[in-house]
Amino acid sequence: MIPVLDLGPYLTGTPGALATTAKQLKEALEGVGFFIIVNHGVPRPLIERTFAEARRFHARPYETKMALRMNEHNNGYMAMGRYAVWTSEVNANDKPDLNEAFFVKRERAADDPLLRSGRRFVGPNRWPDDLPGFRETVLAYTDAVDALGRRLLPVCAVGLDLPPDYFDGAFAESQFSFRLSHYPPVAAEPNQFGIAPHTDANFLTFLAQTEVPGLQLRLPSGSWLDVPYVPDSYAVNAGDMLHRWTNGRFKSTPHRAVPPVGRDRYAIPFFLGPHVDTVIACLPTCQSAADPPRFTPITYDDYLRWWYDANYSAAVQDEAAPVSPTT
Q: Is residue 56 part of a domain?
A: yes
Q: What is the pLDDT of residue 318?
A: 59
Q: How confident is the model at residue 56 (pLDDT cuts 50, 70, 90)?
A: very high
Q: What is the pLDDT of residue 316?
A: 61
pLDDT in tens, 232-283: 999 999 999 999 999 999 999 999 999 999 999 999 999 999 999 999 999 9
Q: Is residue 324 part of a domain?
A: no
Q: What is the pLDDT of residue 107?
A: 96
Q: Is residue 323 part of a domain?
A: no
Q: What is the pLDDT of residue 123?
A: 86
Q: Is residue 326 part of a domain?
A: no
Q: What is the pLDDT of residue 91?
A: 76
**CATH number, domain with residue 124:** 2.60.120.330
pLDDT in tens, 8-25: 999 999 999 999 999 999
Residue 68, pLDDT above cutoff 50: yes
Q: What is the pLDDT of residue 322?
A: 46
Of 85 and 302, the structure prediction assigns the larger pLDDT to 302
Q: Is residue 185 part of a domain?
A: yes
Residue range 209-230: mean pLDDT, rounded:
93
Residue range 32-61: mean pLDDT, rounded:
98
Number of structural domains in the chain: 1
Provide the residue range defining the domain that includes 189: 4-318
Of 90 and 182, the structure prediction assigns the larger pLDDT to 182
Q: What is the pLDDT of residue 321?
A: 44
Tell me if 36 sits within 8 A of 233, measured CB to CB: yes
pLDDT in tens, 120-166: 989 899 999 999 999 999 999 999 999 999 999 999 999 999 999 99
Residue range 205-217: mean pLDDT, rounded:
96
Q: Is residue 136 part of a domain?
A: yes
Residue range 103-120: mean pLDDT, rounded:
94
pLDDT in tens, 171-196: 999 999 999 999 999 989 999 999 99
Strand partners, 299: 279
Q: Is residue 327 part of a domain?
A: no
pLDDT in tens, 293-326: 999 999 999 999 888 887 766 666 555 444 444 3
